[in-house]
């Protein structure tokens, strides 16, 4: 993997992590792109370059959380001995 791609993935992850924190602390509607950029330590324009809008970030976070839930083993599965 190239350094450029790795840095892009790291930047994207940093933005999403900052957005998660800010949304949890203040609520989605109270957080601006500029607030997320400041929390991630990057420019406002870079956040917009990666996601465009706050709504796109929210959608990406929700998609990620759904993927995590779907990848988890079912609760009460036979493997863990609970029902």
Per the structure, the complete domain to which residue 30 belongs is given by: 3-80
Residue holding tokens 């892009």? Answer: 8
Pull the structure tokens for residue 37.
């950029």
Q: 40: exposed, middle or buried (C-beta count within 10 Å: 0-12, 13-18, 19+)?
A: buried
Q: Does the structure show a pLDDT above 70 at 3?
A: no
Q: How far apart are CA 69 and CA 36, in angstroms?
A: 25
Positive or negative, the Cα torsion across 47, 48, 51, 54? positive
Which pLDDT score is estimated for 75? 73
The total number of structural domains in the chain stands at 1
Q: Specify the higher pLDDT residue, 77 or 46.
A: 46
Per residue in 17-70, pLDDT (tens digit) is 999 999 999 999 999 999 999 999 999 999 999 999 999 999 999 999 999 999
First to last CA, the chain: 43
CATH of the domain at 53: 1.10.10.60
């Amino acid at each position: 993997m190239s350094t450029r791609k790795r840095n892009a993935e790291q930047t994207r992850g940093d933005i999403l992590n900052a957005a998660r924190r800010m949304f949890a602390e203040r609520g989605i509607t109270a957080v601006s792109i500029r607030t997320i950029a400041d929390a991630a330590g990057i420019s406002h324009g870079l956040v917009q370059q990666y996601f465009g809008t706050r709504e796109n970030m929210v959608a990406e976070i929700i998609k990620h959380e759904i993927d995590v839930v779907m990848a988890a083993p079912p609760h009460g599965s036979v493997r863990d001995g609970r029902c």
